[in-house]
Chains A and B, each alone.
Chain A
C-alpha cells in the first residue's frame, strides 16, 4: 500500500483569490484564481479541484486552464444550483477555499504519434480544454487532431472565440453541431456522434477523449468502437456526487471505482460494461 501522500488534513481548504471573471454563456462563467498555497497550481489535464464558496458549500470543478506554467487556476462554472451559483458569482477580490488537484488525467502522452479524436458535449469542453492546450502546444508530436463539439443551441457554444482562433491558426479539424438552431445557423444540426463521418482518422492508431452527458459519452464510445477504435484507447470523464475527493466519503462510487480517485477519466474498456447497467 502506498504511503499517504498528504500530510495534514486533506479536508482543510487552502485560500485563493479571484482576480478575473468573465461571462462565457448565459449561465456559465470563468473565474481565474491566484493563490500562495503550494501545490495547487500544478495539475494534469482532466483533474479537478474542490472549490468552497464561503458559507455556501463545496463543489467539484474541473481545471479548464492551460497546464503549461500556469500561474492561475482557471475554472469554468455553470450555475445549476446553490454552490455553483455562489462560485460562478464570485467577483475579483473575493476569496474562496480550494482543495486539489484531484483525480486521473487524460492520457495525452499515450496519444503521441497517434490520431486524436476529442468529443465534447456542452460544458464537457471545459475539462477537455487543458488536454487541447497540451495537444496544440506540441502539435507536431501527434497525428491528425479532430474536435467534435455538440451543444444544445448555437448560443451554448463555449469558448467560441478561442475555437475559431484554433481552427484558423492551427492544424485542428473542428466540427460543431447543435441540437436545435434558428435560421441564422448554417452549421450542422444533430447529435455529436453524427459528426464522426466528417473526420478522417486511422481507427487502429487513434486515441479518443470524450466528455459530456453520460449518454453522449456512451453512444460516442460505441460509435468509435464500431469504427475500429480499441475500447482501451477511448477515454471518458465520469461525473458522480462528490463530498471528499479523497476516496473516503463513498459518494462517487461507480461499481468498483471511486470516480474521485480512480477517475474521473477512465477508459471505455474499464467502464463500458458498467455504463450499460442502469442506476449503478
Chain B
C-alpha cells in the first residue's frame, strides 16, 4: 500500500508509465520544446519531455541550451504557465438565442476530460493557489476555472537548479513544492545514476505510484534530493529586497521612479501575459453569429492598455507611468490587502520576457533605497 507522505525512487523510463497511466483518465499536459522555448502542451509519452535541455535567462533574454546530460527537468520556467489551461486566454462564456418566445442563455460545454499537469514548479504551484484564491474563494466562484481546476492532477517538480531571473527564495515560494500535489518529483544525478525521487501527496497519487516499477527511497536518496533543492536555492539570479514591500510602495505612489521606468516601458503588456498570477480579463461580444444569436467571450486583458481603465469621458490611467504603477503596486502591495499574500511568486518571467528587460526587483530596490536617503 502506497500512502501519502511516502517517498519512492523510479527510473526515468518509469515516467512513461506514469504518463500513459494518466492518459487513461486525463488530458496530460507538460513541458515540450517548441519554437526554441519550453512550451506546455499535450504529452503522449516520455519522448515528448525536453530531455537534455536547459535555459539561459536574464533581463529581456531567454535561450534554450543543450545540457551535457540527459536531465528531463533541467530548465526552469518558460513563457507559459499552467494559467493558460485553468484560466484560459480565450474563454467562451455563453451563447444566447432570441426567438418569439424569448431569450435563452446557454453556458458552453464543460471540458470532457480532467487535466493532469506534469512538471509544476514550486512557484507555479503557488501561482495556482493564488488564482484559486482570486477565482474560487471570493464571494463568487468562476464556473470555468472551477470546472478545470476541480479534478486537476498535479505532478510537481522540485527545482534542482535555478534560472538567472528566479527569486522564489526571497518570496518564500520555492524552490521546493511544499504541498498541494498528487506526486512531487526530484530529479537526481542526471549525469550518473539518473533517477527520480517521488513523494506521494494524495491517495490517487499513491494509487498511480503503486502501479509503477519503484523501490522505497533510502536515506541517501532523500539526502540527494535535499541537496538538489538546496543547490537551486543557492543559485537564485535575483532577490526581492528584504523590506516591507507593500508599505514601501504604498508610501511612494508619487515617486519619480514611476516616470523614470515609464520612459523605458513600452506598455506592451508582455509582463502581464506571462505572469502566472495575473488574472485580469475583458469580455467581448461574439460578432460572427446569426442575427438571432449572440454570445460573449472572455479574454485575458492587461492593465497596460488604455482600454483597460476606460470609462465614459476617457481612460483613468492615461500615462505609462500610472499603468506601470498599477501593475507593480497591484502585484506587490494591494494584492496583500485583497487576497492575503503577494501577487508575485518570484518566477522571473516578467523580467525575461520584457523586451527592454525591466526588472521588478530592481524597481522596488530603487524606490526602497531612495527612502533610506
Residues of A within 8 A of B (CB): 1-2, 4-6, 8-15, 17, 54-58, 80-81, 95-97, 239-241, 243-244, 246-251, 253, 255-256, 258, 261, 277-280
Q: How far is the CA of A95 from the CA of B100 in the complex (A)?
A: 11
Min distance, Cβ B261 to any Cβ of chain A, angstroms: 15
What A residues does B279 contact at CB under 8 A? 248, 250
Cα distance, A97 to B280, chains bound together (Å) = 23
Once the chains bind, are A246 and B103 in contact (CB under 8 Å)? no
Judge whether B281 is part of the interface by a CB distance below 8 angstroms: yes
Q: Is the CB of B311 within 8 A of A277?
A: no
Q: Is the CB of B318 within 8 A of A247?
A: no
Tell me how far the C-beta of A42 lies from the nearest C-beta in chain B, rounded to whole angstroms.
17
Known contacts A248-B135, A256-B338, A279-B316; A241 and B322 CB within 8 A of each other: no
Specify which chain A residues have a CB less than 8 angstroms from the CB of B309 in the assembled complex: 240-241, 251
Return chain B residues, CB-CB under 8 Å to A17.
102
CA distance A172 to B322 in the complex (A): 43
Query: Which single residue of chain A is at the shortest CB-CB distance from B283?
Result: A243
User: Of A243, A247, A256, A277, which contacts B138 at CB under 8 A?
Assistant: A247
Q: Does B238 contact A (CB under 8 A)?
A: no
Q: Which residue in chain B gives the minimum CB-CB distance to A242?
A: B311
Q: Given A15-B103, A249-B280, A277-B253, are A241 and B134 also a contact pair (CB < 8 Å)? A: no
Of residues A261, A278, A279, which shows the largest number of chain B Cβ atoms within 10 Å of its Cβ?
A279
Q: Which listed residue (B105, B280, B281) contacts A15, Cβ 8 A?
A: B105
B301 at the binding interface (Cβ < 8 Å)? yes
Please state if B93 and A278 are interface contacts (CB–CB under 8 Å): no
- The interface residues of chain A lying within 8 Å CB-to-CB of B136 are 4
Closest 4 CB pairs of A and B: A250-B280, A279-B322, A256-B337, A9-B143
In the complex, the number of residue pairs spanning A and B with C-beta atoms less than 8 Å apart equals 133
- A55-B289, A240-B311, A247-B140 known; 9 other A-B pairs, CB under 8 Å? A6-B139, A13-B96, A14-B105, A58-B296, A248-B279, A249-B283, A261-B139, A279-B316, A279-B319
Q: In this complex, which of A4, A80, A240 has the most chain B Cβ atoms within 10 angstroms of its Cβ? A: A4
Residues of A within 8 A of B281 (CB): 243-244, 248-250
A-B contact pairs, 14 of them (CB 8 A): A4-B141, A10-B140, A12-B107, A54-B98, A55-B289, A57-B285, A58-B296, A243-B283, A248-B140, A250-B279, A261-B139, A279-B318, A279-B322, A280-B326
Which residues from 127 to 146 on chain B have a C-beta closer than 8 Å to any C-beta of chain A?
134-143
Tell me which residues across on chain A come within 8 A of B291, comparing CB atoms. 55
From the candidates A95, A244, A250, name the one contacting B98 in the complex (CB within 8 A): A95
Residue of A nearest to B336 (CB): A256
B367 at the interface (CB under 8 A from A): no
Could you tell me if A12 and B94 are in contact, using CB atoms closer than 8 angstroms?
A: yes
Is the pair A277, B254 in contact by a Cβ cutoff of 8 Å?
Answer: yes
Q: How far is the CA of A143 from the CA of B303 in the complex (A)?
A: 45
Contact between B137 and A1 (Cβ–Cβ < 8 Å)? yes
**Pairwise interchain contact B311-A95, C-beta atoms closer than 8 A:** no
Q: How distant is A126 from chain B, measured CB to nearest CB, in Å?
A: 14
Known: A55-B285, A250-B280. A97 touches B93 (CB 8 A): no
Decide yes or no: A10 and B322 within 8 Å by CB, A241-B310, A248-B279, A256-B337 being known contacts: no
Distance, CA A8 to CA B141, complexed state (A): 9
Chain A CB within 8 A of B330 CB: yes
Nearest-Cβ distance from residue A62 to partner chain B, whole angstroms:
14
A5 touches B322 (CB 8 A): no
The residues of A that contact B36 with a CB separation of less than 8 Å are none
B282 within 8 A of A: yes
A251 vs B138: C-alpha distance when bound (angstroms): 16
A8 to B103, CA, bound (A): 19
Q: Which residue of B lies closest to A55 (CB)?
A: B294
B99: shortest Cβ distance to chain A, in Å?
10
Chain A neighbourhood of B141, CB < 8 A = 4, 6, 10
Q: Is the CB of B322 within 8 A of A280?
A: yes
